[in-house]
Amino acid sequence: MCPTCERRRIAKNDTVCRTCRRFIAEFIETGRIPRRPVPLMGDVGLTMGWLGVSQDRAVTILGGQP
């Protein structure tokens, strides 16, 4: 299982699933969503919708504490 979303299976040599890798590349690595101790609710909502995760999981992915 993917350690980021905890929902999808990952390929043998990957560290995260394809969906999470696309999300990280498009939003996190580009700085469109900065990692913060308290993420913005809009960023949390986007993460929840894009990855299909709970609010607590989305906050954790974005660097916050649930």
Per-residue exposure over 27-46, b if at least 16 CB sit within 10 Å of its own CB, e if not:
bbeeeebeeeeebeeebbeb
pTM of the model: 0.87
Any idea where the domains of the chain sit in the sequence?
1-66
Q: What is the pLDDT along the chain (66 residues), one digit of tens a residue?
A: 999 999 999 988 889 999 999 999 999 999 999 888 999 999 999 999 999 999 999 999 999 987
